[in-house]
Amino acid sequence: MAEHRFLRALRRQPVDCTPVWIMRQAGRYLPEYRATRARAGSFVKLCKTPELACEVTLQPIARYPLDAAILFSDILTIPDAMGLGLSVEDGVGPRLAHPLRTRADIERLGVPDPETELRYVIDAVRLIRRELRERVPLIGFAGSPWTLACYMIEGEGGASFARAKALAWDEPATMHRLLEVVARAVAAYLAAQAAAGAQALMVFDTWGGLLAPAMFREFSLRYLAQIARSIQSHNVASRVPLILFSKGANAHLEALADTGCAALGLDWTISLGAARARVGARVALQGNLDPAVLHARPETIRAEVQAALADFGPHPGHVFNLGHGITPDVDPDRLAVLIDAVHESSATATVRAPS
């Protein structure tokens, strides 16, 4: 498995063709997922039942020649394990029943034990890894401390997360208390996923791009680096590559690369060539096609894939992906076009040694 092209690409080693996986590849665009979701009765039940989480994780692997599977779960499992009460309503999104409203709420928080409060996730990782039978590597993941804090304070998604930002401005010590405990929880959670069999790890900093530069460095980057250091020092997880994806934070690519992660995820607002020029061969790059391209004609999808591959160039260290998650209204056949185009177009390119 160490020789699989996805893991080789994360280590910036030559590959036979560019590996590809898709964020939210197990999701509502697939009819088989919708059937399993209906059988589960709720999204939370689907996440908390290891057998069902395994089933939907494997569905896109059975349908497409993808190069990695990603654990089916949700970034808000950690706040839920901390007692905030997660629910997900169709058409509404995730909500936390007990958002953090006072300093005392924050001071009561503790780091959940992944093998107890989050045992259902760790059991799912073990089951998925076994059922994959080494076909492709398994990616584990978590949300970033800043992103989780946004939801924990607001209680739901939002456009600006003004309440969370206000806390960071007005009571920075309190916000740092929250981010510190969440960062330790994320690091422990990721380490447990690696110990259970995840072969790569990813942190989704979905809302990092909402922060002004100084705030990003203080309230997001600082804790991403802390997690990266923890992963590197852990006896098991030190062998597992870490991908950081901070959406909308292209101004901070160099600093993100300096955290010691193996790879950076990119959204579609920066070109692969420009990103590589800035971070060189320090890290692999993952991304970054606009998800809306999957609504275009097949020939357009193939042309956009070829353009992205050409933009990165004949270098090692590229994992093809969308710049964000696949949307529920995508025709599954369009994703098949993209995956085949990545493999076919990149197989003809000559991949040089790291430079």
Structural domain of residue 89, as residue ranges? 33-54+71-265
Asked if residue 100 and residue 198 are part of one domain, the reply reads yes
Residue 203 resides in a domain: yes
Which of 219, 234, 265 is where one domain is finished?
A: 265
Total number of domains in the chain: 2
∠ Cα 148 39 143 (to 5°): 10
Q: Could you check whether the bond before residue 288 is cis, i.e. omega within 30 degrees of 0?
A: yes
Assess whether 227 and 305 both reside in one domain. no
Determine the Cα–Cα distance for residues 192 and 116; give it in Å rounded to an integer.
11
20 plus 80 within the same structural domain: no
In a domain, 280, yes or no: no
What is the pLDDT at residue 90? 76
Q: Which residues pair with 264 in a beta bridge?
A: 244, 285
Q: Note whether residue 279 is domain-resident.
A: no
Instruction: Output the pLDDT for position 235.
Output: 59
The model carries a pTM of 0.96
Q: What is the pLDDT of residue 355?
A: 47
Q: Would you say residue 194 lies in a domain?
A: yes
Tell me, what's the pLDDT at 238?
Answer: 60
C-beta neighbour count of 273 within 10 angstroms: 14
Contacts of 298 (CB under 8 A, 6+ apart): 334, 337
Indicate whether 251 and 352 sit together in one domain.
no
Structure tokens at 125: 């990782």
Residue 89 and residue 1 in one domain: no
Residues 191 and 107 in one domain: yes
pLDDT of the chain, 355 residues: tens digit per residue: 558 999 999 999 999 999 999 999 999 999 999 999 999 999 999 999 999 999 999 999 999 999 999 999 999 999 999 999 999 887 778 999 999 999 999 999 999 999 999 999 999 999 999 999 999 999 999 999 999 999 999 998 877 899 999 999 999 999 999 999 999 999 999 999 999 999 999 999 999 999 999 999 999 999 999 999 999 887 565 689 999 999 999 999 999 999 999 999 999 999 999 999 999 889 999 999 999 999 999 999 999 999 999 999 999 999 999 999 999 999 999 999 999 999 999 997 655 445 4
Does 333 lie in the same domain as 300?
yes
Query: Is residue 42, in this structure, part of any structural domain at all?
Result: yes
- Based on the domain organization, do 14 and 103 belong to the same domain? no
- Are 243 and 320 found together in one domain? no
Residues 214 and 306 in one domain: no
Residue 129 lies in a domain: yes
Angle subtended at Cα 2 by Cα 25 and Cα 61, rounded to the nearest 5 degrees: 25
The helix (H) or strand (E) run that includes residue 149 is helix 145-154
- Active site members: 24, 28, 37, 74, 151
Q: What CATH number did the domain enclosing 191 receive?
A: 3.20.20.210
Residue 139 lies in a domain: yes
Q: Is 274 inside any structural domain?
A: no
pLDDT for the residue 157: 84
Last residue of a domain, one of 231, 265, 299: 265
Asked if 187 and 255 sit in the same domain, the reply is: yes
CB contact at 8 A, 136 and 6:
yes
Burial of 312-337, coded b for 16+ CB within 10 Å and e otherwise, reads beebbbbbbbbbbbbeeebebebbeb
Same domain, residue pair 90 and 187: yes
